[in-house]
Chain A
Amino acid sequence: MLTFILKPCILPKMPQPSLFSLPHLTVSQLTFRIRKLLEGDPELQDVWVDGELSNVSRPASGHIYFTLKDKNASLRAIMWKTDAARLRLSLQDGMAVEAHGRIAVYEPQGQYQIIANLVQPRGEGALYQEFLRLKAMLEAEGLFDAGRKREIPQLPRKIGIVTSGTGAALRDMLNTLRRRLPLVKVVLAPAPVQGVEAPPALVAALASINRQEPDVILLARGGGSMEDLWAFNDERVVRAVAASQAPVICGVGHETDFTLCDFAADLRAPTPTAAAELATQITVLDLAGYLENMRARISSLTSDLIADQKLTVTALASRLRYVSPARRIETEQQHLDELARRSLSAFVHRNQLQAIHVRGIAHRLESLNPLAVLKRGYAVVTKKKDATVISKVRQVNAGEAIQVRVSDGTFDAEIVNPQS
């Protein structure tokens, strides 16, 4: 406000103008000088401010405009779209936060403001330091060792749940279990999940749920700020998780939230719903599939068995046929036929041999026929009176009647002049 409102009657003492005139600055020059002053201060360019949010507005540009205030002062603040996209919490009026950023001057309005790049619930920075310290300590103790992790049973019969008895987390988990494995029995140990009473209550709930001997325990809580989730970073709770007899699946907050209980648990789930899913790796659908498979197996085994039996019966039937009298008669018949066939052929064969033999004999007989030589000019001479064959001169006397046989007949002759 550079305009003086002059009210001479009320202000009796006028400022005395200096004897030497001071150099004048334009508004722009002055504002630029202020800007240089603020934006040149390294401490103001990397500053944390604690305050309460008010006038939060998020226009279509995606930038977030708000005011940080405390009892006595307020500070305009802007968060650019790219930083706003990384915010883990949605900014609400009245929220106690700590903002990090740099102080800048907006010359057209003559305003200084903070360009915030990070806004988080108040105390989170300190909590995070504490988180890192505890994590390092417990890690060094070996509480988070991979070797300590136990198998999660694939088909649990009893699931223990430690969570708030009223939150959405419990409802989500029960719905998930109901959908995936309604056969399972659930035992709930309700416990407050935030505030000072939460850690001892969670420790007690883990102990009493373990006495129910569940196959697996789901330790869960819905999303919230780091402070809200803090009970799950409490050393007592972390130690109770590590000491649990039953394996623990920890599903606290959202995907991006990590608590020390996540590290100490046998399995970390990104959300309560995911914890319930990881506890039921085999679902009722899988069981139904398995059952169908069993049904098909006994069916096929039994029909195989019956087919086997049929085969055995068929084999026996054919063996029976083989040894039946009918079959023997057939065999005998065949044997007989065979013999008949063989005897017939033997007979024929012998006849042929006989015929050849007879022809041979006839031939030989032929060659022995004395009359055969007559054809070659020889003659048989016999005595006329007694038909003795004459082969020597001394058998005959001169004048004796003889008969001469040649090839085609006989004629008579008389012995003349026998000489020897």
Chain B
Amino acid sequence: MAKSKIVEKSVEELTYEEALAELEQIVAALEGDASQNPLEEALKLFERGQALVTRCSALLEAAQLKVEKLAGDTVLPFEEESE
């Protein structure tokens, strides 16, 4: 299941949600049929998983609240008045 997604996109291009979803798939794959996974494949999954964890952590660290403002139905960036 996770196999098809692997190596499709480099980890650095993934959004937080994408990275987390793939990470969950990898864990499920590793948990599910561990014995059926060829060891080499499992190790690849593991490395990919590690990379995804790093990516997610980095995104969490760096996350900045994005605020937009509506003017009617037009979306504008919102500048907070600084104190």
Interface residues of A (CB under 8 A from B): 157, 165-166, 171, 174, 177-178, 182-190, 205, 208-209, 211-212, 284, 287-288, 291, 294-295, 297-299, 301-302, 304-306, 308-309
Contact = CB atoms under 8 A, between A and B. Distances in A.
A188 B24 contact: no
B63 interface: yes
Interface in B13-44: 16-17, 20, 23-24, 26-27, 30-31, 34-35, 37, 39, 42-43
B79 to A, nearest CB: 11
Nearest to B68: A187
A222 to B, nearest CB: 15
Instruction: Assign chain B's interface to a size class.
Output: 35 or more
Contacts of B60: 183, 284, 287-288, 291
A339 B67 CA distance: 92
Contact of B73 (A166, A208, A299, A304): A208
B14 to A, nearest CB: 14
Contacts of A308: 34-35
Q: Give the 9 A-B residue pairs with the shortest CB-CB distance, closest first.
A: A182-B63, A302-B46, A298-B49, A301-B30, A178-B65, A295-B53, A186-B67, A189-B70, A183-B63
Contacts of A305: 30, 34, 37, 39, 42
A309 B17 CA distance: 33
Contacts, number: 100
Nearest to B35: A308
B8 interface: no
B69 A298 contact: no
Contacts of B4: none
Contacts of B63: 182-183, 284
B75 interface: yes
A208 B37 CA distance: 50
